[in-house]
């Protein structure tokens, strides 16, 4: 089946530093990748939609300069949390699909803790 | 904007019993998908429903898509401890097929 790899699984960083999270589709080409944020015991909040070779589309209220998304190829998207602050601590999950309306395949998620 | 609501938010079930979780959209959907997230894990795709009134079964799980394509349900029979987790429905709005909106999820706890 379709596999999406997300790295790192956990990261602890100091306030003010930047953190990069990678999301790779291992056995299929993902036309679209999505980045979600999930707070404890809550649903998935879509942050942005990433299409290969074009700028990401950010959801309302998500700062594009803070959450930089790069979709360099059909198998790789990265999310960089810039100048991280404790309130950015959360569970970030990427997902990928190979065409519109096809199911999403999620990465294992990255638990970010900003101290 | 589009909203997808799920009820109940929490479901405590005795092992062996049945239960149903419901998903309602404020707008007509092109399709609906269901995912399961185990505690500490990531969402895993269960099924996709596309047709009005469609019913699909996966062993003890029965999924239904409403006639108006605005609601869906998941019914689990003879609940087992392995059913523990959060079940999310997610819908693609007809006019925005690239955007999947997730419901709030139903958190299922099973009492042995």
Q: Within 13 Å, how many C-alpha atoms sit on residue B79's CB side? A: 22
Determine the distance in angstroms separating the CA of B48 from the nearest CA of chain A, rounded to an integer: 7
Q: With beta carbons less than 8 A apart as the criterion, state whether B81 and B112 touch.
A: yes
Within 10 Å of residue A87's Cβ, how many Cβ atoms?
A: 8
Contacts of A16 (CB under 8 A, 6+ apart): A83, A84, A85
Predicted confidence at residue A16, as pLDDT, reads: 97
A104 has a chain B CB within 8 A of its CB: yes
Across chain A, mean pLDDT equals: 93
* pLDDT, tens digit, 9 for 90 and up, residues B46-58: 999 999 999 999 9
Quick one: tokens of A67? 């959450």
Predicted confidence at residue A34, as pLDDT, reads: 94
| Residue A101 pLDDT > 90 | no
Residues from chain B contacting residue A34 (CB–CB below 8 Å): 100
Tell me the average pLDDT across B61-84: 97
Determine the distance in angstroms separating the CA of B104 from the nearest CA of chain A, rounded to an integer: 5
| Residue B98 pLDDT > 80 | no
CB pairs A-B closer than 8 Å? 46
Tell me the average pLDDT across B62-81: 97
> Given an 8 Å threshold on Cβ–Cβ distance, is B43 in contact with A44?
yes
A115 has a chain B CB within 8 A of its CB: no
pLDDT band for B94, please (50, 70, 90 cuts): low
| Residue B102 pLDDT > 90 | yes
Across chain B, mean pLDDT equals: 93
| Residue B45 pLDDT > 80 | yes
A10 has a chain B CB within 8 A of its CB: no
Predicted confidence at residue B2, as pLDDT, reads: 67
pLDDT band for A102, please (50, 70, 90 cuts): confident
Choose the weakest-confidence range: A11-15, A45-49, A71-75.
A71-75
> How many helices (H) and strands (E) in chain B?
0, 11
> Given an 8 Å threshold on Cβ–Cβ distance, is A42 in contact with B103?
no
> Given an 8 Å threshold on Cβ–Cβ distance, is B33 in contact with A103?
yes
Residues from chain B contacting residue A108 (CB–CB below 8 Å): 41-42
| Residue A39 pLDDT > 80 | yes
> Given an 8 Å threshold on Cβ–Cβ distance, is A103 in contact with B45?
yes
Determine the distance in angstroms separating the CA of A25 from the nearest CA of chain B, rounded to an integer: 15
Predicted confidence at residue A53, as pLDDT, reads: 80
Predicted confidence at residue A65, as pLDDT, reads: 95
Q: With beta carbons less than 8 A apart as the criterion, state whether A110 and A11 touch.
A: yes
Residue B45 has its nearest CB partner, among A43, A44, A105, at A105
| Residue A30 pLDDT > 90 | no
SS3 B40: coil
A54 has a chain B CB within 8 A of its CB: no
Choose the weakest-confidence range: B64-73, B81-90, B99-108.
B99-108
> Given an 8 Å threshold on Cβ–Cβ distance, is A103 in contact with B48?
yes
User: Residue A73 phi/psi, 5° resolution?
Assistant: -145, 175
């Amino acid at each position: 089946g379709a596999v999406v790899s997300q790295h790192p699984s956990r990261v602890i960083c100091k306030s003010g530093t930047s953190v990069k999270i990678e999301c790779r589709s291992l056995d299929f080409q993902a036309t679209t990748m999505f980045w979600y944020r999930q707070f404890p015991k809550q649903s998935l909040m879509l942050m942005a939609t990433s299409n290969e070779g074009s700028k990401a589309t950010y959801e309302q209220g998500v700062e594009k300069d803070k959450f930089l998304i790069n979709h360099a190829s059909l198998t790789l998207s990265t999310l960089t949390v810039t100048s991280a602050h404790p309130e950015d601590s959360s569970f970030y999950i990427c997902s990928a699909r190979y065409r519109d309306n096809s199911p999403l395949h999620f990465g294992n998620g990255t638990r970010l803790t900003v101290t | 904007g589009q909203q997808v609501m799920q009820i109940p938010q929490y479901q405590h079930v005795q092992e062996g019993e049945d239960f149903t979780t419901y998903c309602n959209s404020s707008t007509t959907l092109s399709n609906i998908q269901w995912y399961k997230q185990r505690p500490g894990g990531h969402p895993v795709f269960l099924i996709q429903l596309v047709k009005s009134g469609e019913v699909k079964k996966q062993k003890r799980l029965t999924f239904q898509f409403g006639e108006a394509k605005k609601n869906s349900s998941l019914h689990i029979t003879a609940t087992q401890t392995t059913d523990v987790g959060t079940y999310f429905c997610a819908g693609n709005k007809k006019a925005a097929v690239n955007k999947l909106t997730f419901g709030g999820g139903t958190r299922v706890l099973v009492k042995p």
